A = this chain, B = another copy of it.
Amino acid sequence: MSEWRKDPIVDRWVIISTERGKRPNDYKEIWGQKNTLECPLCEGKEKLTPPEIIAYREPASQKDTPGWWVRVVPNKFPAVNIEGEPSLRQMGIYQVMNGVGAHELIIETTHHEPSLDAQTVKQVEEVIWIWRDRSMDLRKDSRMKYIQIFKNTGPVAGASLEHTHSQLIATPLVPVEVSQELEGVKAYHARHGTCVYCDMIRQEAAEKERVIIDSEHFFCFSPYASRFPFETWILPKEHQHDFGQIHEELVRDLAGVFRAILRKLAVLIKNMPYNVVLHTSPVNTQEEIHYHWHLEIMPRLTIMAGFELGTGYFINPTSPEIAAQAMREVIEFYSLQEKPVKEVYQYV
């Protein structure tokens, strides 16, 4: 069973996966090893995953068989476990809690394709809908306080499976990064009476130099204090604190701009490793209406090293102004619509 352990000095919890319990020899085999096993996420290999939680599939098709186009399964090697109540124990100066939580895998397509940007806009829409479905379902479990949806692409960004997928970890705690953002948002609101994210859109739209895509419902830009080269945020223009509030028109537009950003990154640098993190308000706790949900896309071309670990600050050798310009200048694949990016590479 996993454990949540808290650092006795700062608000930092660590999930110790004692069952996975990697020993030194497990790491000796990691380096340079290529995964040669069958891909368990491909169509026809449904029996290789734990039984599906939900799938969008043909009405006549059976659970855990082909016929689906997006599929959610429990993570086979979960960092957290769905059973049990989160009970906090004091161990001398330390605090520990049983490793409660949900850890799910969202399989974004049936075929073995490493990147989401090669999918159609319609397929990306389906992925966003299933993120929302899982978010709405998991919040019915009152133990869960936050639903972290994220995506790791490329080994450098932490992906251990190549087949395009995203993940979800629901936690019995509001994570420190989220609670610090909430504090910042509330402090700003108390001072100015407005939403800091809405004000950010206003300022960026006026200054223009960091804007990448300004669509009907979403605003995509390189944040002023970008931690990573080509970091990109996608914000809904309408103030919504909770990703669960997304509706049909927004899903359609988000699918288009999200895919466009991923395509731009893919064209800019081949096999660009990146993380996507969905930021949204917590659940089953005080409602945080001043929050503003959004997507943060973080390419991993730089390394978080000693300075970043020691200070919590970042060094970014590519200014967001240069990044946004390069992103804008990439041919607008958004308009090419359904053409997979692989075919498009040759044009660049």
Contacts and interface: CB of A to CB of B under 8 A. Distances in A.
Interface of A: 5-18, 20-24, 27-28, 30-31, 79, 91-94, 146, 148, 150-152, 155-159, 167, 169, 171, 175-178, 180-181, 184-185, 188, 196, 199-200, 203, 207, 223-227, 229, 268-271, 275-279, 296, 298, 301, 303-307, 309-320, 322, 326
Contact of A305 (B92, B158, B271, B320): B158
A148 B225 contact: no
A178 B316 contact: no
Nearest to A146: B311
A17 B316 CA distance: 6
Given A150-B305, A276-B306, A224 B8 contact: yes
Contact of A316 (B14, B180, B305): B14
A262 B343 CA distance: 48
Contacts of A28: 269-270
Nearest to A5: B225
A15 B305 contact: no
Contacts of A298: 309
A13 B313 contact: yes
19 contacts: A8-B225, A10-B184, A14-B225, A14-B227, A14-B315, A15-B315, A16-B319, A17-B316, A21-B318, A91-B224, A94-B224, A150-B305, A152-B306, A158-B306, A171-B311, A175-B311, A176-B311, A177-B309, A298-B309
B315 A177 contact: no
A21 B322 contact: yes
Nearest to A22: B317
Task: Output the residue of A6, A92, A307 with the most chain B CB within 10 A.
Answer: A307
Given A304-B158, A307-B169, A314 B15 contact: yes
Given A148-B307, A175-B313, A298-B309, 15 more contacts: A7-B224, A10-B184, A12-B225, A12-B312, A16-B225, A16-B226, A17-B316, A21-B317, A21-B318, A22-B317, A92-B207, A148-B306, A150-B306, A150-B310, A296-B309
A188 B6 CA distance: 14
A22 B318 contact: yes
Given A311-B148, A311-B171, A313-B175, A305 B14 contact: no
A15 B311 CA distance: 12
A12 B227 contact: yes
Contacts of A203: 92-94
